[in-house]
Each structure stands twice: as C-alpha cells, then as structure tokens.
C-alpha cells in the first residue's frame, strides 16, 4: 500500500494532462450526478462511457469523477475496474500499469501460500483463490494493457500454475479474458473443456477460433455422436455451418435416448424447419419433436412426422421418442386409430385408456388372439390376467372353438403353474354355447319355409384344340 500511495502522488497530476481543464464544467449537475453513479459501479463503467458520449460530455466534465472513481477502486483493492476506467477514459498507461502491478502482487501472495499448502486439506481452496487472483490479473493485462508484453507474461504465469496444479482452470480464464495464446494451446484448452463437460465454454471459444472445416466437423460430431443434441444444436447456431453439413449432422445424430432441453436454443425458424425435415428423414424422432415448436410447421409438421414414421414402419421407434414428449402421445394414437391400427395401439400405447379402448375394439372385431396378446404385454396390470379371460370367453361365446383351443394351449397349465385357461374352462364354455343353441330358436336354414338351395350348374369342359403334328425335320416342344 505504501507503493500505491507513493505512485498516487506521482500520478495525481498526470491524469488531467491529456487535455486542458477549464474552471467550470459545461454539463448540468444532474448529468454529472448520473455519470458519477455509473462510473462508481464496476459493472456499469462501460455504460458510463456510453452515457458521456451520448450526452456530449467533454473531458473537463467527467475527468474529476473518473479520477475519484479510479482511486476509490484502487484503495479498495478492486483493481480490474480501476484499470477499465483508466483504459476507457484515456488515462496515462502508468494508471493501467499500477493496477496491474497491484493485481500481480495479490496473486503472488496467494500463489506462494498455495505452493506451501497445496498438499494440505485446504490446498484446493488455495488453488481456487490463486485462480481468482490470476483472473483479475489476466483481465487487466489482456483487456486493458498496458502492453502486449504484459499480456504474454500473464499467459506464462498461468501456464506455470497449470503445471503446478495439474488443472486446466488457470488456462480456461485466458480465453475468457482474450489473452494472446497460440492456436495449438487454444485448441488444447477447448478440447480439454469438452472432456470436462464445459460445453458452453468450448462452443463459445471454438466458434471464435479460426478453424478449418475438418476441425469444425470433428468438434460438432463430438455432440451429435456422443448423445448431446442439447448442446449440439447450440454449436450449429454458433458455428453457422452450411445447410448440407448441418443436415448431415442432424440426420446421423445419436440422441434418441437423450432428454433434450431446447429452452436455451435461439433458432432461426427457417433453420428449425430445415433441421426438422432432416431429423425426420434420418428417423431421429426425439430430435424432430424438439425442433418442431421452434419452426413454422405447427400441426402440419406433426401430421407429417406421424405419416413418415408410419411410412417407414418406425411406429415403435416413434413411441419410444414419445416417452420424452408425452404431449404428442394422444395425437399419434388418434392418428393410428383413424387408420385402423388397433392392434398396435393395444400393444404399444403408454396409457391404459388407449390400451383398453383398442382392446375393446379388437374384441368387437372378433380378433380374440390379438386382444389377448395386447392384454398380456400391455401397460395395464389388471388387464394382463382379466383381458385374457375376457378374450377367451368372447371367442367361446361366438362359437370359435378353434380360438378357444388356442387359448388353452397358450395360456393353460404348464408343469406346476395352474395357468389362466384350463381344459375344464374350455369344456364348460363349450357346453354353455351348445346349451344356448339348443334352448334358442332353430336357425333359419332349418325352417321349412327357408328357401331351398338351387343345385349348382355344371361347368362345361373346354375342349382342347388339337395340335398340328410335329414335322419330321423339326423339333417340337
């Protein structure tokens, strides 16, 4: 602090040296007060600069407030805002340099403590503290100067801390602060961020890198191949790749089992529409359903998706995707119902209401075996036993004894298991059917008034035309 005060006396007269100072400020008191409020808050220093420009404030208007704010931050030990003021408002380079020197002293003190205690229980805490101090230094050196040499020196100090700690944390902050790192190191940092699941960081700095098409493709495939379409679509937007490349990535994505979160996507509707069609072509229904609300297709797009899934016989795959999009389930079941896909609905619907509705329809249509199978493998626990018996009794009541024997064979006793449908049950239902027939009226064909069937007319046999004899000097088939 003694060095800080000594420099303050030396620098105090130099901050006004860039321009003449008049005795009275031209700006009105309200404008000066508003500027003073903005420049004394670290997060609104850039707003203060824009405000001064918008209000036409001259240097003599804001220099006193800027100088007071600079020294206020310096005395408080908050050096990055002080350096920002010095940089934005044209203070001498010594002002930025003094803030950088103090930030480096802070880092050196914490770094020395970390070196002594890195093997202790609180070693990780001291590492994080050192990274925090280094981030302040990097912000000043790389954003505000005073020289490019100072920025390169900070990069070297970060590399030393990385080597000591075996952590990429000190290197991550270099890209955030715009420090001058060579392309090999930049790529290494971004690749490491992917491995540590820092996807937003990697996407942000990857998009700002000068990569060739091969490297961009490798980077994007990391998301779409390793089931991370949530960040993959963000990367497509950030890198602004061409339509062919993006469509290829979407069509071959491996994200059908992922719960995709599109709440932070910022998509152009045209891109969303194009990628929706690509997902449907590639049968990536989970991704297609997530893209659909971001486009303009609406209800037509939903029907198109159902239509193409049925056309490609991928209904079961779409039902799997609907588990992540339950709001589309009833619509797809209704689409299938209109096309008579009762058996599929009964077997694959994820709700008991649709399964029971399709089961009852199969019973009505006389498809006893299909109804029993749907009950056996469906969603409803109660229907798994009850439904088989309902289908069996319905078949027997309709006189379909062949289906009844099938039920005995498939659902009858096996070794020690009693089974659901026994031979005794079959005989009992068959006896009931014959008893009902005997008790009921004679069928129409047995009544004397029933019209007699006319004998079928005999078909005349067609005479074959005689073939011409085969000549002696030729071959005949």
Residue in 372, 315, 382 with CA at minimum distance from that of residue 349: 315
pLDDT score of 410 more than 70: yes
**Alpha helices (H) in 166-254, listed in sequence order:** 169-176, 183-195, 199-207, 213-225, 229-239, 243-251
Structure tokens given for 29: 């008191």
**pLDDT score of 97:** 93
CA distance 367 to 351: 21
Q: Where are the domains of the chain?
A: 210-339, 342-437
Mean pLDDT computed over every residue of the chain: 87
Q: Show the tokens assigned to 227.
A: 């089931």
Kindly tell me if the per-residue pLDDT of 8 is higher than 60. Answer: no
| pTM score, whole prediction | 0.76
Q: pLDDT per residue over 416-444, tens digit each? A: 788 888 899 989 989 888 888 887 776 66
Instruction: Taking each helix axis as running N to C, give the angle between helix 229-239 and helix 213-225, from 0 to 180 degrees, rounded to the nearest 10.
Output: 160
Give the pLDDT of residue 476.
Answer: 65
Mean pLDDT value across residues 3-8: 48
Range in 84-93, 236-245, 354-363, 468-477 with the lowest mean pLDDT? 468-477
pLDDT at 201 (0 to 100): 94
Per-residue pLDDT at 456 exceeds 80? no
**Reported confidence tier of residue 128, pLDDT bands at 50, 70, 90:** very high
Least confident of 149-163, 186-200, 428-442: 428-442
Q: Residue 453: which pLDDT band, with cuts at 50, 70 and 90?
A: low
């Amino acid at each position: 602090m003694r060095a800080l005060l000594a420099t303050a006396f030396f620098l105090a007269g130099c901050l006004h040296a860039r321009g003449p100072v008049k005795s009275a400020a031209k700006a009105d008191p309200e404008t000066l007060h508003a500027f003073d409020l903005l420049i004394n808050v670290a997060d609104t220093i850039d707003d203060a600069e824009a405000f001064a420009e918008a209000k036409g404030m001259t240097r003599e208007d804001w220099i006193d407030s800027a100088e007071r704010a600079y020294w206020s931050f310096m005395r408080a030990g908050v050096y990055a805002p002080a350096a920002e003021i010095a940089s934005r408002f044209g203070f001498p380079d010594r002002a930025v340099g003094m803030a950088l020197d103090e930030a480096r002293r802070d880092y050196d003190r914490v770094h020395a403590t970390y070196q002594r205690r890195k093997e202790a229980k609180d070693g990780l805490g001291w590492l994080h503290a050192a990274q925090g101090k280094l981030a302040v230094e990097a912000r000043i050196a790389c954003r505000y100067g005073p020289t490019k040499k100072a920025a390169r020196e900070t990069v070297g100090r970060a590399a030393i801390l990385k080597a000591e700690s075996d952590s990429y944390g000190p290197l991550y902050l270099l890209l955030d602060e715009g420090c001058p790192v060579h392309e090999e190191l930049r790529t290494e940092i971004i690749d490491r961020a992917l491995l540590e699941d820092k996807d937003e960081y990697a996407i942000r700095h990857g998009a700002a890198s000068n990569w060739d098409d091969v490297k961009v493709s490798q980077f994007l495939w990391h998301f779409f191949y390793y089931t991370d379409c949530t960040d993959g679509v963000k990367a497509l937007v950030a890198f602004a790749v061409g339509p062919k490349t993006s469509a290829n990535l979407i069509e071959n994505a491996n994200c059908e089992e992922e719960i995709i979160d599109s709440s932070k996507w910022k998509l152009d509707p045209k891109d969303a529409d194009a990628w929706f069609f690509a997902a449907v072509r590639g049968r990536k229904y989970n991704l297609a359903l997530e893209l659909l609300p971001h486009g303009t297709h609406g209800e037509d797009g939903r029907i198109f998706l159902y239509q193409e899934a049925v056309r490609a016989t991928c209904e079961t795959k779409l039902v799997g995707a609907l588990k992540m999009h339950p709001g589309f389930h009833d619509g797809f079941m209704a689409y299938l119902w209109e096309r008579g896909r009762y058996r599929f609905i009964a077997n694959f619907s994820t709700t008991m209401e649709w399964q029971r509705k399709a089961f009852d329809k199969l019973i009505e249509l006389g498809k006893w075996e299909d109804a029993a199978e749907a009950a056996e493998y469906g969603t409803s626990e109660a229907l798994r036993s009850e439904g088989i018996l309902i289908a069996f009794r319905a078949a027997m009541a309709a006189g379909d004894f062949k289906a009844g024997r099938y039920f005995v064979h498939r659902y009858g006793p096996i070794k020690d298991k009693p089974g659901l449908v026994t031979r005794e049950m079959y005989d009992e239902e068959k006896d009931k059917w014959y008893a009902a027939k005997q008790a009921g009226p004679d069928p129409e064909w047995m009544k004397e008034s029933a019209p007699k069937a006319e004998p079928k007319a005999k078909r005349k046999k067609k005479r074959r035309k005689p073939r011409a004899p085969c000549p002696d000097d030729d071959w005949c088939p």
